[in-house]
Structure 1
Amino acid sequence: MPRRSSAPKERFEAIEILLLWEGRVSRSRLLDLFDVHATLASRDIASYRSQYPEACEPEMASKSYIASWGLRPQLTRGVFDDYQRLIGASRGLDGVSASVPFEHSQIDSTTIRYSLFSQIHRAISLEQCISVRYRSMTNPDGHERIIRPHALIQAGPRWHVRAFCAKAQGFRDFNLGRISAVSSSEQVDLLGGEHDVAWHEMVSIRLVPHRGLSAAQAVMVREEYMSGTAARVFTVRASMAKYLIQSFRAAVDPERETTPEHLLMVANLEDLPEGAVW
């Protein structure tokens, strides 16, 4: 993400956001985000600590400052959108100048608590296993899962963590909004992200107009989605294929998933690996 210039107030807010959501802050992390001199970044952290002495404490080994257990939002709202905007994950249109009314419907509906997210973020950074209490449609009260997370995923309005699951003995996506508790785990023998074949394998998804459309409708859909060409091809991680297909509401079974609810279909379903679609 390109670094940006900033005002002191924005950098103070960034320090708090990093402490809340990543569990730590350092000079190098601020320099990742802001186009300022290293000396100024150090001065900002020192000033923040002087003003909020209970917010964090130094960790000499990592040359960073670790969030205190009692840390609470003082300068920011303490919501996930703050963190998204800071790291550039938010796709908001605040910077758009269209000279006419301009709005969008990209809404993040995942409820995420910084106290949980920072522990997951730390586990990914340190390649550690954690215990999570995870809720699902079959078990809405939640049950314990021992996982080793290795990546975060934004898929439409939801956020997930990609992890190896001890119970499933495989890599799975866990909805962050369904994780109600996180704690450390002594287990150390779970596979890391380097063994996640579906994560590292890249696949091509070919979307075409649904075969149930009339000739005129198909031409319209091609112009709308494909600039008039015969198909739209995306190359994504195999584990992310299902999210892309869902975002376009593309049919994988055109006999059952019919028009007009589905305007597109996957043309190369047989080329996709097992598990690439729901």
Structure 2
Amino acid sequence: MQVEDTPTQHAERNLDVFLRICLSIYHANIKTEYTMTVKSLSELETLRGGAALKARLKHVDDRLKWFGYLRLADHASKFGISEVQAKIDIKTYRYLSPTPPPERKPGPAAGSLGAGAYLRPEKFAPVFDVPASMDDLWATRFPEARTDEPLSLEVLSAPEHRIEPDDVRALLAATELRTSCRLRYQSMTSAEASERIVCPHAVVKASGRYHVRAFDFSRKRFIDFSLPRVLSSDLLPDHAPVPATLDDDWHKTVEVEFVAHPRLSPAQRSTIAREYGMQQGASVITVRRAMLFYLLDEMRLLKAIRQQDKDLADVPVWVKNSKYVADELASMESET
């Protein structure tokens, strides 16, 4: 027996159809605005929302350059946009790119990356002609909104730790995919480069360099690999991975209590407390034990903590719980 809809149900159904039509027209207009009229990056500046779109396109460029692929869902999640808008971003990028990534493969054809993945073409040319910097992978920068003279900012240019995308692409992909990888690595404790099979699980920026935290099958422990010293890398999807949960130093945390150095005057200690945002004269930083070395190194306190001598500290801060921190540092270093 067929039951007729009530007037209320008719109204709800009509409203649903109306909204679907409006959304279709809205998304079609967005697609036309960005994919049909944008012929160069410079034109983005003239569009409403062009700065935000340019930042998203830069992220697509960086993902293909450094990782070799981009997943649609990840792109949408990073920028808090819908998958419809993410698809528009990809189509805009493909339109601007001299070497556009192929259309994504649905279902099983997508392989281990899953559906919605766009792969870097074999002959790839970036859309953004700027020096390769991994900083752009983690921070999305938007242009300055001031219309008058911008604030003068002088940035010190220190020697750069260069990373070649071709050398580390497979290693970064292995880190995200939680699979193993073969790499050639030049350690500073060995005269010649050596081949390593590793299973990476995290990327860290510390002491001015990028590192990958990975299980080294030859040494049978988790250690850090400096990305600038990776000479080549290749995925080993058939090699058994090592779970990141086994990395005890990564999961154990250490609390480091920074205070103004005791040798300072009361007025100086007050200023240092304000400079470092200390509460009640102290700033407690919780750090992974695997990263403790880098924290102390960046604070220029490594030697002083190791020798438990505050007079060796040439900075205006000290570690109040220095004995505990020194013991944790020694425990970690004895394992490596």
Q: TM-score, normalised by structure 1?
A: 0.79
How many residues in Structure 1 have an aligned counterpart in Structure 2? Answer: 269
Match of 2:332 among 271, 275, 278: 275
* Larger helix fraction of residues: 2
Could you say which residue in structure 1 is the equivalent of 2:42? none
Q: 1:226 Cα shift?
A: 5.6
Question: 1:106-125 maps to which residues of 2 (within 5 A)?
Answer: 109-125=160-176
Q: 1:31 Cα shift?
A: 1.6
Cα shift readout 1:122-149 (whole Å, capped 9, x = no counterpart) = 1022211111111122225311111100
Match of 1:74 among 127, 136, 140: 127
Q: 1:75 Cα shift?
A: 2.7
Give the 3 Å change call, closer, same or farther, for CA 18–190 of structure 1 in structure 2: closer
Cα pair 2:211 2:226 within 8 Å, conserved: yes
Q: 1:69 Cα shift?
A: 2.0
* Larger strand fraction of residues: 1
Give the 3 Å change call, closer, same or farther, for CA 18–242 of structure 1 in structure 2: same
* 1-structure distance, mates of 2:208, 2:140: 12
Question: 1:81-100 maps to which residues of 2 (within 5 A)?
Answer: 81=134, 84-88=135-139
Cα pair 1:209 1:265 within 8 Å, conserved: yes
**Structure whose alpha-carbon radius of gyration is higher:** 2
What SS class does the counterpart of residue 56 from structure 1 fall into? coil
Task: Kindly indicate whether residue 67 of structure 2 is the aligned counterpart of residue 22 of structure 1.
Answer: yes
Could you say which residue in structure 1 is the equivalent of 2:243? 192
* 2-structure distance, mates of 1:108, 1:193: 33
Question: 1:239-278 maps to which residues of 2 (within 5 A)?
Answer: 239-250=290-301, 251-253=304-306, 258-259=311-312, 261-272=314-325, 273=328, 274-275=331-332
Task: Kindly indicate whether residue 93 of structure 2 is the aligned counterpart of residue 48 of structure 1.
Answer: yes
Q: Cα RMSD over matched residues?
A: 3.5
Question: 1:209-248 maps to which residues of 2 (within 5 A)?
Answer: 209-210=260-261, 213=263, 215-216=265-266, 221-222=272-273, 224-225=275-276, 227=278, 229-248=280-299
Q: 1:54 Cα shift?
A: 4.0
* 1-structure distance, mates of 2:315, 2:90: 52
* 1-structure distance, mates of 2:225, 2:237: 20
Higher RCO structure (Cα 8 Å, ≥6 apart): 1
Q: 1:182 Cα shift?
A: 0.5
The letter for the 1-side match of 2:319 is V
Give the 3 Å change call, closer, same or farther, for CA 126–51 of structure 1 in structure 2: same
What SS class does the counterpart of residue 258 from structure 1 fall into? helix
Q: TM-score, normalised by structure 2?
A: 0.67
Q: 1:53 Cα shift?
A: 7.0
* 2-structure distance, mates of 1:268, 1:96: 44
Q: Which runs of 5+ in 1 are unaligned?
A: none
Q: Which runs of 5+ in 2 are unaligned?
A: 1-48
Q: Which moved more, 1:56-65 or 1:242-251?
A: 56-65
